[in-house]
Structure 1
Amino acid sequence: MRAVSSSGSNLIVNSDFTQGNAGFTSRYRFEPTTISSQGTYSVTNNPARLNASAFAPCGDHTSGTGNMLMVDGSPQAREEVWCQTVRVEANKNYAFSTWLSSVNPSNPAALQFSINGVQLGEVFNATRTLCEWRQFYETWQSQTATQANICIINQNINRAGNDFALDDFAFFELADIVYDTVTVVVIGQKVTVIDTAICDGSFIAFQNMRIPPNSNPRFTLTSSEGCDSLVIWNVGLLDTIFESLRVDTLCPGEVLPFFDLLLTQDTTVCRTFSVSNSCDSTFCVTAVFFD
């Protein structure tokens, strides 16, 4: 992860075209009032005023009422649409940005940006949506350079359509890039296994479900934090419930009754009782008499 902030002022002259056709160069032909042929440009606050039958009445990017650079794409390859040279410091980081919009939906522009003859970023395409402003943004390292010649070339040389507007150019020095390391720990799925047993004919209620004996359903539980838990419930079948009792405080001659028996000496006896549709119950007692 890195954190970057700008420092200083915008180095682009006439970045929002409030000064009209000034501060930049172009190999396109400037037309101040009307655009009717390819390879021309103008500065306007409404492209439709230059050619109402070809261009949409778009507002500029800055305020919606200010100026923008209006361009009718050239059929000639590698003709510079806009160029400006600015002074920079060696071994500094800079960021370049501008905004692009289509004023005709046919064959949107495909702009290639460069600094000192080296391509900057990928070719940037306008959309077919009229008056939709899209931002181009890239960073650049000056290395030993003390000036940056920033240029734009339209890679689309189709005569039909290919009409676009540019606005709000920016070229800033960036503050030192601060890198930080973030460790991401992915928590695996927690698995919980529950072993239990119940009588025939009964069930365990869980998650609005009835779990019968001799089953092992699986449930995935998702917490509000996005971590899943897998619950595996192994439910066995009980045949007999066993209960035992030890009585070791009997005196000689004392009688301990146990169901149908009367216990008079040391012994262990059991009785089993069956219940329909449930578990058998076995009860055992151990009798211990004092000597």
Structure 2
Amino acid sequence: MKFFLAFLFTVSILFSQLSFAQCPAGTDTSSQNLVVNGDFEAGNTGFTSDYTYCNTGNCLQPESFYAVGANPTFFHSAFVGNDHTTGTGNLMIVNGAGTPNTNVWCQTITVTPNTQYLFSTWVSSMVANSPAILQFSINGITIGSAFNAPAVTFLWQEFNDSWYSGVNTSATICIVNQNTNLGGNDFGLDDITFSPCICNFIFDAGVDTSICNGSSYQFQFNNTNTYTWTPSTGLSCTNCSNPIASPTATTTYTIDASLSFCPAIDSVVITVHPSSTVTASGDTSICSGEQTQIHAVGSGTYSWSPAGSLSSSTNANPDASPTLTTTYTVTLANSFGCTSSDSVVVTITQVANVFAGNDVGYCEGGQVQLSASGGGNYSWLPTSGLSSTNIFNPVASPIQTTTYTLTVTGSSNCTGSDEVVVAVHPNPTADAGNDYIY
């Protein structure tokens, strides 16, 4: 029963994991492991050590010896444990020395300059007393913080750290022991990896776009990244995520959005189309009830507004018949959709309020004086039978019934008319009968 409980405990803690480092933003850990024989399944090969190798029973004593095998107890009667990979495979079994910065395991690897790497190992204690204190070292320089092996046996923990290669083309990667205590300090290593961080950041500057000359376009990108824009011509800023571009000619902008050590460069073209130009005719005025033709000059498609009092809203020269003073705006769109606008004001002048007077009548041979109202210049028609044709109160003496039309022209040359009827009644004929002689 004790064996069964111990087995459950071992399984439950066998793959406990601690992770301290990750690839930087914009990158992922590659599945490529540059370490040769990092799981020790090939035996004592592919690496070097400042410790002394042995491969016979109970050979891991005194300190500073290591072995590669599947059964720690075979190499030291006080050691217990198994490998991390499968539970039955090989591991590196170490009786730790008391000298700090001693290289336990090393391997020289070809690396790519300017690349981030993750260095990782799994560690287990062969005895629980005084766990090993280990640290990573690359090219003779320790990196990151030292880490302690587990305080219990049969527990594997992963430790890792990151390293930037800079100009280096090779790296001697090592695991060193910093524990100076000779009592305990016994541990196992397994599944050592050294993997490059690969770029997963893809930058897309988007589709090319076009604007009309004199217009602008604002870019919108994630503002958590760092951007560098070239050229600076027509840009409101060159290191922001959302510059406003106002080029006067077609321009290709290149955007460098590189993240960490991952290059991310793309470009976008802003095509600048010529703007349209339209000129409307000058302001004008008309009398109420009249119409006038308004004009626009330009090349493209016309659109007038308001359109309700126009003969056409798409003609360059429509007739306008407003009832009130109106500002007409013409918008011209060229073949690229670029627009421009101009306007013309049509002012309405009200006609004179004319009253020619009430209809009148008289007997033949008589006359009557007319009396009209309305400011402006008077003109009566017909002229026959009138004492004057350009005053408001001429004397009318037509010989027959006549309809007179009065036209009054105001100061703005707008006219108004009214009519008055002068009726001529025939005189009565008296008959006293025949003469008589008495």
TM, length-normalised to structure 2? 0.39
Query: Partner of 1:11 in structure 2?
Result: 34
2:167 aligned with 1:144 = yes
Q: Secondary structure at the match of 1:168?
A: strand
Structure 1 residues 77, 139: CA separation in 2 closer, same or farther (over 3 Å shift)? Answer: closer
2:226 aligned with 1:173 = no
| Structure 1 counterpart of 2:96, from 53, 73, 80 | 73
- Verify the 8 A CA contact 2:99 2:179 in the aligned structure 1: no
Query: Partner of 1:86 in structure 2?
Result: 109
The amino acid across from 1:145 in the alignment is N
Q: How does 1:246-261 map to 2 (within 5 A)?
A: none
The amino acid across from 1:9 in the alignment is Q
Structure 1 residues 181, 168: CA separation in 2 closer, same or farther (over 3 Å shift)? Answer: farther
1:139-162 Cα offsets, whole Å, 9 max, x none, are 211000000111121110211111
Query: Partner of 1:39 in structure 2?
Result: 64
| Structure 2 counterpart of 1:51, from 76, 79, 82 | 76
* Higher alpha-carbon deviation: 37-46 or 8-17: 8-17
TM, length-normalised to structure 1? 0.59
Q: Runs of 5+ in structure 1 lacking a partner?
A: 183-291
Runs of 4+ in structure 1 deviating by more than 3 angstroms, as ranges, are: 177-182
Query: Between the two proteins, what is the percent identity of the paired residues?
Result: 43
What is the Cα deviation at residue 36 of structure 1?
Answer: 2.0
Structure 1 residues 72, 181: CA separation in 2 closer, same or farther (over 3 Å shift)? Answer: farther
**What is the aligned-residue RMSD (CA, Å)?**
1.9
What is the Cα deviation at residue 4 of structure 1?
Answer: 3.2
Query: Partner of 2:151 in structure 1?
Result: 128
| Structure 2 counterpart of 1:25, from 24, 30, 48 | 48
- Higher relative contact order, chain-length normalized (CA < 8 Å, sep 6+): 1
Query: Partner of 2:84 in structure 1?
Result: 61
Query: Partner of 2:240 in structure 1?
Result: none
The amino acid across from 1:146 in the alignment is T
2:182 aligned with 1:159 = yes
Q: Secondary structure at the match of 1:2?
A: coil
Query: Partner of 2:386 in structure 1?
Result: none
Determine the C-alpha separation between the residues in 2 that align with 1:181 and 1:82: 44
- Verify the 8 A CA contact 2:123 2:190 in the aligned structure 1: yes
1:97-144 Cα offsets, whole Å, 9 max, x none, are 110010101110000211112222110111211021110111211000
Task: State the structure with more CA Rg.
Answer: 2
1:58-111 Cα offsets, whole Å, 9 max, x none, are 121100000000000012232211111100011111111110010101110000
The amino acid across from 1:168 in the alignment is D
Structure 1 residues 177, 107: CA separation in 2 closer, same or farther (over 3 Å shift)? Answer: farther
Q: Runs of 5+ in structure 2 lacking a partner?
A: 1-23, 203-221, 225-438
Query: Partner of 2:119 in structure 1?
Result: 96
The amino acid across from 1:55 in the alignment is F
Structure 1 residues 106, 89: CA separation in 2 closer, same or farther (over 3 Å shift)? Answer: same
What is the Cα deviation at residue 3 of structure 1?
Answer: 4.9
The amino acid across from 1:11 in the alignment is L
